Amino acid sequence: MSKLLMQAIQVYQYGGPEQLKLEAIPCPAPQAGEAFVRVHAVGVLPIEWKMRQGLFKDTRPATFPYIPGSAIAGVIEDVGPGVTAFQKGQAVFGRTNNGAYAEYTAGALETLALKPEKLSFAEAATISGGATVAWTALFESAGLQAGQRILIHAAAGGVGLFAVQFAKWKGAEVIATASSYNREFIRSLGADHVIDYTKTRFEEVVQDVDVVLDTLGGETLQRSMQVVKRGGILVSLLEKPSLQEAERYGIRAMFNSPAFPFPSTNLLQTIARLMVEGQVKTTIAQTFSLDEASRAHALSETGHGRGRIVLQVVH
Ligand SMILES: NC(=O)c1ccc[n+]([C@@H]2O[C@H](COP(=O)([O-])OP(=O)(O)OC[C@H]3O[C@@H](n4cnc5c(N)ncnc54)[C@H](OP(=O)(O)O)[C@@H]3O)[C@@H](O)[C@H]2O)c1
């Protein structure tokens, strides 16, 4: 192992962005089935500020101190005992469960894949927790098919931007919601119709879709039930939809919790291939350095913007 100490962001208690503390702490040691990765870039996911605020303290309490982050891209520095599938020096991306706002992490190999040269580290760090979530919701949960109509909420976000492109790639008709600031951006991703949610209530102009992808929850989720056609499906990434309500509308409704199966190497590779072929592109909202993690969280907490915020750990 190349280093004994590393810079990492630690959280000691629930609270605001100021709880993200940059400290020198011991490097993790890779266990069997893991790689020791020099982190180059990390995607900043909304779940990370929600966790930091304590929004999950009753259902998934944090063990303090912890290092936030999971969506990494970096270079393997070492591998755990018995590992032969990956080697030192390979550039990889995917998900780690051991904290990622750090110079190094130890990641499980089954949630990592080789990073294509054509993708930058920052681009590759937008895949886990964004593209992987969109793919799973559309194709595994909703079973989206060519020719179907789908309504995608928050289409300019880190999940939505991939969802729009995957749905178009599959041959679906895409209706997307975003503010007017993001209208042309969503169009450029291929959406057939964009609804400016600040001006139009989507349920007044959308009916009979086969699928809704809800990334907002609350009243957006409630109002979405009525636009799904009988026999269609609503997939929420935010909360459990009311099954009674769904039954009343004659639709299926489900919640993909963040504990949904982690991305496999296979899925990561499939998505990266589409990106290398130019069929799907990512968008980075803004990059910050590791010591600016609190600024990155403050920006993510606004709930607005375009694309994924990324911490660029190696410049
Ligand atoms: N369950 C899971 O497995 C899972 C996984 C990933 C994410 N999530 C959750 O899904 C949500 C979205 O994640 P993300 O990474 O895509 O977040 P994000 O990148 O922070 O999404 C921000 C986007 O939301 C849009 N937005 C805000 N309010 C809106 C509204 N009322 N109608 C339409 N669009 C609106 C914004 O568009 P404007 O700037 O145009 O307003 C912005 O582009 C988060 O709450 C996250 O925690 C869940």
Centroid of ligand 1 to alpha carbon of 119 (angstroms):
24
Q: Which long-range contacts (CB under 8 A, 24 or more apart) does 200-209 make?
A: 202/151, 202/175, 202/177, 202/227, 203/227, 206/151, 206/175, 208/149, 208/232, 209/149, 209/150, 209/151, 209/175
The ligand 1 atom nearest the CA atom of 129: 6
pLDDT for 7:
98
β partners of residue 279: none
Ligand 1: residues within 6 Å at CB?
45-47, 129-130, 133, 153-154, 156-160, 177-179, 181-182, 197, 215-216, 220, 237-238, 256-258, 260, 300, 303-306
| Predicted local confidence at residue 261, as pLDDT | 75
**Per-residue pLDDT at 185:** 98
Question: Looking at ligand 1, which residue's alpha carbon is closest to its atom 3?
Answer: 258
112 CA distance to ligand 1 middle (Å):
24
Q: Residue 111 is inside which H or E element, if any?
A: none
Predicted confidence at residue 258, as pLDDT, reads: 84
Please give the domain boundaries of the chain with CATH numbers for all domains. 5-126+283-312 (3.90.180.10), 131-255 (3.40.50.720)
CA of 303 to the centre of ligand 1 (A): 6
Q: Which tokens sit at 190? A: 């291929």
pLDDT value for 1: 47
pLDDT for res 259: 74
Q: Whose CA is nearest to atom 23 of ligand 1?
A: 157
> For a pocket test of ligand 1, which of 50, 136, 179 has the largest count of ligand atoms closer than 8 A to its C-beta?
179
pLDDT in tens, the chain (315 residues): 446 999 999 999 999 999 999 999 999 999 999 999 999 999 999 999 999 999 999 999 999 999 999 999 999 999 999 999 999 999 999 999 999 999 999 989 999 999 999 999 999 999 999 999 999 999 999 999 999 999 999 999 999 999 999 999 999 999 999 999 999 999 999 999 999 999 999 999 999 999 999 999 999 999 999 999 999 999 999 999 999 999 999 999 999 988 777 899 999 999 999 999 999 999 999 999 999 999 999 999 999 999 999 999 998
The reported pLDDT for the residue numbered 262 is 86
